[in-house]
């Protein structure tokens, strides 16, 4: 199955300079991090005018609480292609509104991993984003156990680490490292 127009890199912009670089790129799907609620509508509109499909990290919108009401606002007024969040209520709302729904998981230790498995048994997002993404053995385990398409993000710094994440079962890598965007 093809996901994200078969992109293996999902560039993530954390500032305007990176956002502008993403607009000039060949990538169709892009991730928007660290935004301000006042800029959000115009940034997403600008991206759409450049034929980009924006996946918005809902937890990182300054001036907006990350809850189901914020998700409703984002889905109805901002209309990104998808939402990423650590909050299940936000991801559920995105899924309910037929947006791409990505559950972000921080896998810090065995307890966090087991808690994540329990969460995913009760709710099946469209995708999981696993952080940090430089743990191929954990990526492989999560992909096999959950059967949910997986993105790897965080601390991936070079082409070899991208390939390790993909070989372990990630369908793509999310990264704000501009050097990796050019791979």
CATH number of domain containing 14 = 3.20.20.70
Q: Where are the alpha helices (DSSP H) in the chain?
A: 16-24, 37-49, 68-73, 88-96, 110-122, 136-146, 159-168, 178-181
State the pLDDT at residue 70: 97
Q: Residue 92: inside a domain, yes or no?
A: yes
Residue 61, pLDDT above cutoff 90 = yes
Average predicted confidence (pLDDT) for the chain: 96
Share of the chain above pLDDT 90, in %: 98
Q: How many domains does the chain have?
A: 1
Residue 1 lies in a domain: no
Going from the C-alpha of 112 to that of each of 23, 26, 56, 130, 169, the distances in angstroms are: 35, 36, 24, 11, 20
SS3 (DSSP) at 157: coil
CA distances from 102 to 8, 26, 119, 183 (A): 16, 22, 13, 24
Residue 29 in any domain: the answer is: yes
In a domain, 110, yes or no: yes
**Residue-wise over 118-141: b if at least 16 C-beta within 10 A, else e?**
eebeeeebbbbbbbbbbbbebbbb
Q: Does 98 reside within a domain?
A: yes
Query: Does residue 2 belong to any structural domain of this protein?
Result: no
pLDDT band at 97 (very low <50, low <70, confident <90, very high): very high
Domain, as residue range, for 72: 9-181
> What is this structure's pTM?
0.97
pLDDT of 182 > 90? The answer is: no
């Amino acid at each position: 199955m093809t996901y994200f127009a078969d992109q293996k890199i999902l560039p993530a912009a954390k500032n305007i300079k990176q956002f502008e670089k993403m607009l000039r790129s060949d990538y169709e799907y892009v991730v928007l991090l660290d935004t301000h609620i006042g800029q959000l509508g115009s940034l997403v509109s600008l991206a759409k005018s450049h034929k980009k499909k924006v996946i918005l990290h809902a937890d990182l919108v300054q001036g907006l609480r990350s809850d189901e009401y914020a998700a409703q606002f984002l889905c109805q007024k901002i209309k990104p292609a998808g939402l990423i969040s650590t909050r299940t209520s936000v991801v559920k709302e995105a899924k309910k509104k037929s947006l791409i729904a990505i559950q972000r998981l921080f896998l810090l230790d065995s307890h966090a991993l087991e808690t994540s498995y329990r969460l995913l048994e009760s709710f099946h997002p469209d995708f999981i984003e696993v952080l940090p993404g430089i743990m191929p053995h954990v990526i492989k385990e999560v992909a096999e156990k959950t059967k949910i398409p997986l993105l790897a993000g965080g601390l991936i710094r070079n082409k070899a680490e991208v390939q390790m994440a993909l070989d372990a079962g990630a369908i793509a890598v999310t990264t704000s490292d501009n050097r990796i965007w050019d791979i």
